[in-house]
Amino acid sequence: MVDTSGQLYTIEGIAAALIMLISAYLVVNATSVYTPGDTHINDMQLEVLGSDALQVMNTPVNGSSESPLQEIVENDDASTFNTTFLNYVNNKTGSEMDNLHYTANIAYRNITDGDTIWSYPLASNRNMTAGDHPVRVTEWVIVDKTLPPGAPYPPTERAVLVEVLLWRD
């Protein structure tokens, strides 16, 4: 009598082996493998650089002046912000420049409108698209300014939050 029950074992073994081999082949030949730590490295580098740039912009260059960022916010000087911020984030120690893009907003507490948070754009050097992967960096700045802009109040000293979305092509 021919017993064919053993052939099933062989097919199972071959099938299991093939599955493992194909899986291993696919994994090894994947273009790149990201661990959670890996994916955050580029973001971390951008966050550190962006935070540094805002922090040094919010430091007066001498003991008797306002910080550049204070003056920019008080005067809504988008051009100076654009030049200074890009200078800080794109400069490298070598001869080549980096190519980072940003969009910056100012958020503040509007006490004339039910104590709500309002914001308005400060500057940007490119519109963000769906494919961009930005990081968010912020800096609190003490300014002497009328907020909301154009409100019928004299300028008062208050804190505003400069928010910057920063990304690389």
Partner 1 sequence: MIHNEKGNLSVDFLAGFTIFILAFIWVATMIPSLLVGLNAHSIDYNAVAYRTSVILAEDPGAAGPVSGAPCFGISSASGSAWESTVTAPTKCDIARFGLAVSKDTPNVLDENKVNRFFCWTESADPNDKTNLSYPDDYRKRAIFGDYPYRFNISLRMDGENTTRYVGEAIPEEDYGYIRRAVLVKGPSNATIDENLIKEKYWSNGTVMQGNYSEDRFTIHFNGTQLLKDCTNVPHEINYRNYQIDPSLDTTVINITGLDTLYYDSPSSTTTNLTGIFLSTSPTAMTGRLFNDKNTFTFIDGNSTPVGTLPANVTSNISLVIPPGAVISESTLRTNPHVYLTLIFKNTNTVPTINSTYGNWYINSSESGPFEYDYNAANVTQPQLHSGVLEVAVW
Q: Which residues here bind partner 1, judged by CB under 8 A?
A: 5-14, 16-17, 20-21, 23-24, 27-28, 30, 32-33, 35, 37-38, 41, 44-45, 48-49, 52-53, 55-56, 59-64, 87-89, 91-94, 98
DSSP states along 67-112? -HHHHHHHHT-HHHHHHHHHHHHH--SSSPPP-EEEEEEEEEEETT
- Shortest distance, position 150 Cβ to partner 1, whole Å: 30
157 three-state secondary structure: strand
- Shortest distance, position 56 Cβ to partner 1, whole Å: 5
- Shortest distance, position 16 Cβ to partner 1, whole Å: 5
Joined together, the tokens standing for residue 92 give 């490298």
Residue placing its CB nearer to partner 1 in the complex, 38 or 113: 38
Residue placing its CB nearer to partner 1 in the complex, 9 or 116: 9
Residue placing its CB nearer to partner 1 in the complex, 34 or 118: 34
101 three-state secondary structure: strand
Residue from 116, 119, 126 nearest 165 by CA: 126
